[in-house]
Amino acid sequence: MSQQPEKFEATSASITDEQKAKLKSLFPEIITEGGKIDFDRLKLTLGEAVDAGKERYGMNWPGKAECFKTIQQSSMATLIPARDESVNFDTTENLIIEGDNLETLKLLQKAYLGKVKMIYIDPPYNTGNDFIYPDNFSESLETYLRYTGQTDEEGRKFSTNSETDGRFHSKWMNMMYPRLFLARNLLREDGVAFISIDDHEVNNLRKLCDEVFGEENFVATLVWEKSKKGDAKLIAVSHEYVLVVAKNKQYMIEKGIWRRKKPGAEEVLSHYQQIRQTFDDKHDAISNAMRAWYSSLPKNDPRRAHEHYRWSDKRGLYFADNFAGPDDGRESRPRYDIIHPETKKPCKKPSTGWRWDEERTKQALLADPPLIHFGPDETTIPCRKSYLADISYEPFASVFYRDGRAGTLELEKLVGKGLVEFPKDKDILADFIDLATEPDSIVLDFFAGSGTTAQAVLEKNIQDGGRRKFVLVQLPEPATHTQFPTIADITKQRVRAVLKKLHDEGVSQLPLQGQHKGDHGFKVFKLQSSNFKAWNTEQPKDEAELGKQLTLHVDHLVAGRTQDDVLYELLLKSGFPLDTKVEQIAMAGKIVFSIADGAMLICLEKELTPEVIKAMAEKKPERVVCLDAGFANNDQLKTNAVQTMKAKGVTKFQTV
């Protein structure tokens, strides 16, 4: 540690530095003394794997090079907390972020890198009248601030994308590419993204996904049939698509997670365990009790669909499945004898032969308990046992139907009519969540719309006692509704209505799965320029302008910003998620914020003292951050602070 504290880096993560670090970890020999990449060495290292040809298969479009510049440009923005628009701000782990999703994705890179289990997005379909985008991708924060009226500068660079424009598809791809690139970074190794789209851009989206995620990580194109009829001059299009792509498809295949629970199966198994305890593993009594229970259920109850699972042994609840081979006209099916365990006589054989060969059947009979189900005597054809616990999951079909009006009706019921066109269906999103997440997963939606993803997460947690967290990002795009000025306002209102609905139903007061009550809240953050004044390198370098810049930076905090605002910027840009535990404590008469149970201490006081420096160092945190203005040009106090922190083993001491 030097005699001066480190300067806090007030920008988002550098994507370029991260990519270079990945290359360095794989090929340390290609990094030169100056930290540059030697491509000639890289070619030598990879040998024939390098494609130096000019003609190769790939995708290119006007503006693609600018996309990479956009990705590489760090953000100087921040996310300002809006406690008054939040619900249970201090205890919730759910987030709603109001702002441009490109800037927000950049800001999330440090804190959420590799932590998101599932992404669902419903981006603009580029129909010609529903698409808002920045003209200048290198000035996305400034463009956003102008668009939302947060600066005095004239001119808003957002508009619809017209089909008459010569770069109609290119502009859409320029908007999507950097967002997909940044989003992929946030996914866990077993993470997955679901992306809704229609015929306008489905082909381009597939190619973008192949380039960003790798063609080998494409999972499927789901077809969402939304209507059974339609009206059109040519063909009535009654469907749209959901593209499914993985961070690492092979990893997911090895984990075997791509199956969903059969409706009602979990409840049947739970009831079976209760009956099993009641009858103390007396399997005939258990089977009779299961039959009686099934009969008591309503005919349309999903549990009733499993009523053929009525037999029991010490392995579990099973169905006596057909053990005969298919009647395909062949005589090749085995016809060996199976001896009944009670009568010791050969059992009746099916006319088409057995499904398994003799050796496999022998192994099934030797299992404990046997995997063959017998009738009362040899006159009944034996069956194989199919256990519900083994097949309580099923693959998700690539074509499914759900009435397209369901999402609209749900939103109208919660918030009102005429709010958002074609909101997504919460039950379909719940199916995706069930398929792709675990009970403690993070679900991200950075084209949040009316907030359907949040509702699906909240209700799924209620169903299975999960602790899933949602992160929504929505541009405050003007809405046509008088009560809600922007789409982001509709997003927040819908989630409030869902929370109220859950509370009114009494769900939030009940223990879930015997322990967890669920997260009934959300923190709201709003995209804004940094709390710290950035040095303007574009201004003329004459003496008068230089003096003006120096005057502005006597106090480099932006006027009107609160300690809360500054705290969350430091938190996020230090790599801590926005739901990190924060405690306000008193030390030597000063306010200090303890982050993640003392892992980092932040003091935003403008008059630091030796006592508070010593008190923070005594806590032995990994990091300490203070305002540079807090030292009031007292170089001796600053130097002593560095030595005090070093003596107590503080890894990083920074000022901002």
- CATH code (residue 239): 3.40.50.150
For residues 81-92, average pLDDT:
96
Place of tokens 């003091």: 603
pLDDT for the residue numbered 331: 64
Last residue of a domain, one of 470, 495, 528: 528
Q: Do 509 and 452 lie in a common domain?
A: yes
What gap in Å lies between CA 425 and CA 52, rounded to an integer? 47
Say how many domains are in the chain: 3
Helix ranges (H only) for 242-396 are 249-255, 265-278, 283-296, 358-366
Q: What is the pLDDT of residue 21?
A: 76
Average the pLDDT over 45-67 and give the result: 73
Query: How far is CA 4 from each of CA 174, 195, 635, 643, 646, rounded to the nearest angstrom?
Result: 43, 48, 9, 9, 11
- pLDDT of residue 514 exceeding 50, the answer is no
Q: Are residues 272 and 219 in the same domain?
A: no
Are 213 and 269 in a shared domain?
no
Q: What is the DSSP letter of 507?
A: G
- Determine the Cα–Cα distance for residues 518 and 468; give it in Å rounded to an integer: 9
H/E stretch holding 386? strand 383-387
Most confident by average pLDDT, 25-34, 192-201, 345-354: 192-201
Check residue 144 and give its pLDDT.
77
Among 477, 511, 528, where does a domain finish? 528
Neighbours of 14 (CB within 10 A): 17
In a domain, 299, yes or no: yes
- Other beta carbons within 10 angstroms of residue 558's beta carbon come to 16
pLDDT over 60 at 552, yes or no: no
For residue 511, is pLDDT > 50? no
102 and 142 co-located in one domain: yes
Handedness of CA 278, 284, 290, 295 (dihedral sign): negative
Same domain, 247 and 272: no
Same domain, 248 and 379: no
Please check whether residues 278 and 378 belong to one and the same domain.
Answer: yes
Q: What is the CA radius of gyration of the chain?
A: 31
**Residue 357 belongs to a domain:** yes
3-class secondary-structure state, position 64:
helix
In a domain, 537, yes or no: yes
Q: Are residues 601 and 524 in the same domain?
A: no
Q: Are residues 499 and 555 in the same domain?
A: no
- Token pair recorded at residue 529: 């320029």
Quote the CA–CA distance of 32 and 40 in Å, as a whole number. 11
Give me the DSSP letters along 299-341: TT-GGGGGTT--EEETTEEEEEE--BPP-SS-S-S-----B-T
pLDDT at 108 over 70: yes
Question: Does position 313 have pLDDT exceeding 60, yes or no?
Answer: yes
pLDDT of residue 512: 39
If asked whether residues 373 and 244 sit together in one domain, one would say no
Note whether residue 61 is domain-resident: no
Residue 46 lies in a domain: no
Yes or no: say if 427 and 402 are a contact pair by the CB < 8 Å rule: yes
CB 567 within 8 A of CB 591: no
- State residue 318's pLDDT score: 96
Statement: residue 195 has pLDDT above 60: yes
- The share of the chain scoring above pLDDT 70, in percent, equals 84
DSSP characters over 406-445: HHHHHHHHHT-SSS-SSPPPHHHHHHHHHHH--TT-EEEE
Q: Say whether both 277 and 156 belong to one domain.
A: no
Query: Can you give the residue range of the structural domain that contains 245?
Result: 77-259+395-528
Last residue of a domain, one of 500, 528, 556: 528
Higher pLDDT among residues 572 and 129, named by residue: 572
pLDDT number for residue 217: 95
Going by C-alpha positions, the residue among 456, 511, 654 that lies closest to residue 570 is 654
b/e sequence 267-304, b meaning 16+ C-beta within 10 Å:
ebbebbeebbeebeeeeeebbebbeebbeebeeeeebe
Up-side HSE of residue 645: CA atoms within 13 Å toward CB? 29
User: 68-81 pLDDT, tens per residue?
Assistant: 888 888 888 999 99
Question: Residue with structure tokens 């040519």?
Answer: 234
Residue 602 covered by a domain:
yes
The token pair that represents 412 in the structure block: 């109208």
Helix 168-186 / helix 64-72 crossing angle, nearest 10 deg: 30
pLDDT tens track for 323-379: 887 765 566 678 899 999 999 999 999 888 888 889 999 999 999 999 999 999 999
Q: Report the C-alpha gap between 184 and 446 in whole angstroms.
A: 12
Contact yes or no for 537/107 (Cβ under 8 A): no
Same domain, 506 and 541: no
pLDDT at residue 256, rounded to an integer: 64
Residue 596 has pLDDT above 70, yes or no: yes
What's the half-sphere exposure (Cβ side, CA atoms, 13 Å) at 639? 4
* Chain mean pLDDT for the chain: 86
Tell me the mean pLDDT in the region 241-259: 85
Look at residue 232 in the predicted model and tell me its pLDDT. 67
Judge contact between 76 and 10, C-beta under 8 A. yes
> Could you tell me the pLDDT band of residue 151, with boundaries at 50, 70 and 90?
low
Q: Is residue 63 part of a domain?
A: no
In a domain, 64, yes or no: no
Q: Is there a contact between 53 and 487 (Cβ–Cβ < 8 Å)?
A: no
